[in-house]
Amino acid sequence: MKIIYFHGFASSGATGTAQMLRAMLPEDEVLSPDIPVDPVEALPYLQELVAQENPDLIVGTSMGGMYAQQMHGLRKICVNPAFNMSKLSKVLRPGTYKFLNGRKDNAKEFRITKDIVQHFYQMEMKQFKGITDFDRENTWGLFGIHDETVNTYDLFKKYYPNVIRFDGGHSLNEKALHSTVIPLIRRIFGRE
């Protein structure tokens, strides 16, 4: 089976989460692209990638969970999805920042401008449009009970019934992957 992993803000396809997914699911292909910083570029890029690759599942964390939710017609797991990036002033504010992981283009830093914050806001206003019955049945939200960065549980529940709380924080670690994410993936793929 083919999985595409969407990383969180300031990260890259080289994130440790993607590496752990590959190690824990050796029978599957796990793709993990570098997501552009500006949603004006990121959303069309991811939609095109998904159309080309036709994955069996998308897994996204934080900002990646927000993008994953918008991939209609596909099965997806949104972990601590950051549906309100433009309102996360501790995270998304103008300035220059370092990427947390190496990127394929070797970029070390990225810049957030007021325009990029506005682009997130504009996308967020329409991110739940176009949800189908298939999407409602095949989209799962996983929410860490110790997540102090993002709290979009109630917003997710407004649109989707498949919600799981797990013992963890905002970022996925090996324990949360083993106890919650991997069993869910195996269930989705009919391997339990």
Q: pTM for this one?
A: 0.95
Confidence of residue 89 (pLDDT cuts 50, 70, 90): low
Q: What is the distance between the alpha carbons of residues 48 and 29, in angstroms, rounded to a whole number?
A: 18
Q: Looking at beta carbons, which pairs linking 103-112 to residues 24 or more positions away fall under 8 Å? A: 103/12, 103/13, 103/14, 103/34, 104/12, 104/13, 104/34, 105/34, 110/10, 110/37, 111/37, 112/37
Q: What is 2-188's CATH topology?
A: Rossmann fold (3.40.50)
Judged against a pLDDT cut of 90, whether residue 20 lies above it is answered with yes
**Tokens read off for 190:** 């009919």
* Nearest Cα to Cα of residue 57 among 123, 93, 3, 113: 3
Q: For 27-86, what is each residue's pLDDT tens digit?
A: 999 999 999 999 999 999 999 999 999 999 999 999 999 999 999 999 999 999 999 999
Domain spans of the chain, in order of start: 2-188
Mean pLDDT of the chain: 95
